[in-house]
Structure 1
């Protein structure tokens, strides 16, 4: 008779028991067990290892160890997914998936919804004036009075070219929450999945629903630090092969966004030399041109299941770029190899 070692929910390992199949009323867990066993054997075969004739009625210790690790990982990722959805302040749900390896949630990452200023940096998030419109799409809203075009068309697609700043209606404006000039404020509207990539790029982000072209997808947020501090951190990040520094040099180069420890879903978006997301500078309540918010818009229709990417060295949008700190001879930095696989790949991220 076949017996299965059962870990009882909420109980310590000391209470584990061996149970016959007839006692197990958990088809989902059993299916996961068989899937994990199959995946392990498939991985071993890919490594061209010699596999002895497998006895389905007895698990090899290595297989049993893998299944236990996979079960613990699945629980950890589910808890992380629940935590992310508790912390987010937008409509779109966040899912987590890893069918590639045993990597669990990042140990030193904290989800935030907006910029986190480093000590000594002040973010003034209170506008001094706003519009008095009842319908900003048809009236001459305050951005238009300042010579700035309304950024969207009637179906909420961005219509201005990259490099043009977006001035949004703010907390001082009299228009309502459904104003067509309040798209970024509503946050991510799409369900997205943080998933483990199979090409060696670590975690990535894919959309679970279709995204129309020129639509707002997400903001890039993190810790706001000085450019001097960014230069110091950049040396450390380069040695680890990670890239999370985003220069805010729309009009000056005083500040940088660091999403290494603090960030949102955008923390996990990978680079591509042929991306499907484009960066725009956005001003809402904070009109300080040194501190624009960074919004990512789709450059084309993105189908469900497709990975989201943007170019870390994207140009032509007001000077904003990821990890583009000056490579001076005195502080020559390690170049990170690009793995995007695009036909137009430049070979390096920086």
Structure 2
């Protein structure tokens, strides 16, 4: 075991609060970007967010949380001292959003024009802290992801923060007894893979893409892309899934109780590769065991790798990428395809999601949780794994042909 792997294995969360760490850094004159302590504000004051509001003797005051300083250092400042128009606007936006959503009258929540009700001020602080936490999570996601598109996080619905016990990964995470790496034995020597139909021809299947890198084969048929032993470069038309999605996506909080969802921030053409479904690769026996645990929560991220057999399952509950947050729909705009690149083990295909139609910017991305990668998506044709047969969750996708349950 090398030093880096030893460090990761024994890494534990810090038990000290951010405030304690901030005080220690300032005492030792240390700069820490993660704690909001920069060279700029080490000895100066910068507004992080506004906590409260009052009027005294006709003057307007705001309670300010200073960036990189603990809450014990919060101070009341007259409005003319604040040079943060955006934060003041955000404060009022949160204030009126909360008041408008409460059944109580504005007068009872605001008490009077001189001070805010405690519940209102508490909400504003919690919202500000949530916004900071989500921004940090967004930055962490973009550090870890390997595809070109950016990831954004948005929650205008409730006070839910970043998910706990979720770790972003870009590829399958093998569990004991499972080997997901594989290594291609041979590769093509083509100068024009699109016309030579190289690797797919060798595998006895149809070349999957057209000249615009759009999928042209029917669901249920496998995709064989060029691998690490092929002489063609990254611009090869038969390297689509492995190059990753180019789109910027947003993880957002849904308004109808479906938790987090994912929407695209760019237009996606029909039949385009959008993302892979990744997670821990586990045996069917382990999937059965975990499925029993997931039944208690009514949420599961188990995806059977049943292209030719049913030996392995992908579990994206704790380890996954942006696909972890994609919701189900009975009328989805994404379709599942099985992909083989370096690992040609038919028991371990990579799971790629392609668009079934043109998707507008701002539209939510969805796939059918009962989808098997075949052309027939009727419920009668789907052979569910034991873990999936036990629990039925009410479906809230809103599709005209909704089946009523997941």
Shorter-chain TM-score tier: over 0.9
Alpha carbons of 1:125 and 1:292: their partners in 2 closer, same or farther (altered >3 Å)? same
Contact 1:251 1:290 (C-alpha < 8 Å) held by counterparts? yes
For 2:214 and 2:375, how far apart are their aligned partners in 1?
20
Corresponding position: 1:128 with 2:185: yes
The superposition leaves residues 103-136 of structure 1 with CA deviations (integer Å, 9 ceiling, x where unpaired) of: 0000110000000011221223311111101110
The superposition leaves residues 282-337 of structure 1 with CA deviations (integer Å, 9 ceiling, x where unpaired) of: 00000000000000000000000000000001145299999932269xxx622111
Q: Residue 86 of structure 1: which of 131, 138, 143 is its match?
A: 143
- Over alpha carbons, which structure has the higher Rg? 2
**What SS class does the counterpart of residue 304 from structure 1 fall into?**
coil
User: How far did residue 188 of structure 1 move?
Assistant: 1.6
User: How far did residue 52 of structure 1 move?
Assistant: 2.9
**What SS class does the counterpart of residue 374 from structure 2 fall into?**
coil
**What SS class does the counterpart of residue 282 from structure 1 fall into?**
strand
Residue in structure 1 matched with residue 227 of structure 2 by the alignment: 170
> Mind listing any 5+ residue stretches in structure 2 that lack a counterpart?
1-58
- TM-score of the pair, normalised by structure 2: 0.81
Residue in structure 1 matched with residue 209 of structure 2 by the alignment: 152
- TM-score of the pair, normalised by structure 1: 0.94
Residue in structure 2 matched with residue 289 of structure 1 by the alignment: 346
Contact 2:288 2:387 (C-alpha < 8 Å) held by counterparts? no
User: How far did residue 13 of structure 1 move?
Assistant: 1.1
For 1:76 and 1:218, how far apart are their aligned partners in 2?
25
How many residues are matched? 343
> Mind listing any 5+ residue stretches in structure 1 that lack a counterpart?
none
**What SS class does the counterpart of residue 107 from structure 1 fall into?**
coil
Residue in structure 2 matched with residue 101 of structure 1 by the alignment: 158
For 1:323 and 1:73, how far apart are their aligned partners in 2?
41
Residue in structure 1 matched with residue 100 of structure 2 by the alignment: 42
* Greater relative CO, 1 or 2 (CA 8 Å, sep 6+): 1
Residue in structure 2 matched with residue 21 of structure 1 by the alignment: 79
Corresponding position: 1:113 with 2:170: yes
Residue in structure 2 matched with residue 52 of structure 1 by the alignment: 107
**What SS class does the counterpart of residue 98 from structure 2 fall into?**
helix
Q: Summarize the alignment of residues 160-239 of structure 1 with structure 2, pairs less than 5 Å apart.
A: 160-239=217-296
For 2:351 and 2:118, how far apart are their aligned partners in 1?
50
User: How far did residue 146 of structure 1 move?
Assistant: 3.1
**What SS class does the counterpart of residue 138 from structure 1 fall into?**
helix
Contact 2:336 2:373 (C-alpha < 8 Å) held by counterparts? no
Contact 1:162 1:317 (C-alpha < 8 Å) held by counterparts? yes
For 1:236 and 1:25, how far apart are their aligned partners in 2?
52
**What SS class does the counterpart of residue 14 from structure 1 fall into?**
helix
**What SS class does the counterpart of residue 157 from structure 1 fall into?**
coil
For 1:291 and 1:130, how far apart are their aligned partners in 2?
19
